[in-house]
Chains A and B, each alone.
Chain A
Amino acid sequence: MIALLRRDLALAVRSGGGFLLGLAFFLILTVLVPFGVGPEGGILSRIAGGILWVGALLSCLLSLDRIFQLDYEDGSLELLATAPLPLEAVAAVKAVAHWLTTGLPLSLAAPLLGLLLNIDAAAEPWLFASLLAGTPTLSLLGTFGAALTVGLRRGGLLLSLLVLPLYVPTLIFGAEAVHRGAAGLDAATPLLLVVGITLFSVAILPFATAMALRMNLR
Chain B
Amino acid sequence: MSIWEYANPKRFMQTSGVLLPWVGWAAAICLVVGLGWGFFLTPEDYKQGSTVKIIYVHVPAALMAINAWFMMLVTSLIWIVRRHHVSALAAKAAAPVGATFTLVALITGAVWGQPMWGTWWAWDPRLTSFLILFLFYLGYIALWEAIENPDTAADLTSILCLVGSVFAVLSRYAVLFWNQGLHQGASLSMDRQEHVADVFYQPLLISIAGFVLLFVALVLLRTRTEIRRRRMTALLARERLA
Cβ of A76 under 8 Å from chain B: no
A176 and B178 in contact (CB under 8 A), knowing A161-B139, A165-B167? yes
Interface window among B55-63, B153-161, B184-192, B224-232: B153-161
Contact indicator per residue, chain B 166-186, by CB within 8 Å of chain A (1) or not (0)? 111011001101100000000
Cβ of A184 under 8 Å from chain B: no
Residues of A with C-beta under 8 A to B162: 208
Residues of A with C-beta under 8 A to B152: 151, 215-216, 218
- Contact count band on B: 20 to 34
Cβ of A152 under 8 Å from chain B: yes
Is there an interface contact between B175 and A148, defined as CB atoms closer than 8 Å? no
B58 to nearest A CB, angstroms? Answer: 23
CA distance A55 to B142 in the complex (A): 25
Cβ of B29 under 8 Å from chain A: no
- B132 CB contact (under 8 Å) in A155, A158, A165: A165
Interface size on A, residues (CB 8 A): 29
Interface window among A1-9, A94-102, A167-175: A167-175
A198 to nearest B CB, angstroms? Answer: 12
| Chain A interface helix/strand/loop/mixed | helix
Known: A161-B135, A173-B177, A193-B174. 20 other contacts (CB 8 A): A141-B167, A148-B143, A148-B160, A149-B143, A149-B146, A151-B147, A152-B147, A158-B143, A161-B138, A161-B142, A162-B142, A165-B132, A165-B139, A165-B171, A166-B164, A168-B170, A169-B171, A205-B163, A208-B159, A208-B162
Sorted nearest first, the 3 A-B pairs with minimum C-beta distance are: A215-B155, A169-B174, A169-B170
Which B residues have a C-beta under 8 Å from some C-beta of A?
132, 135-136, 138-139, 142-143, 146-147, 152, 155-156, 159-160, 162-164, 166-168, 170-171, 174-175, 177-178
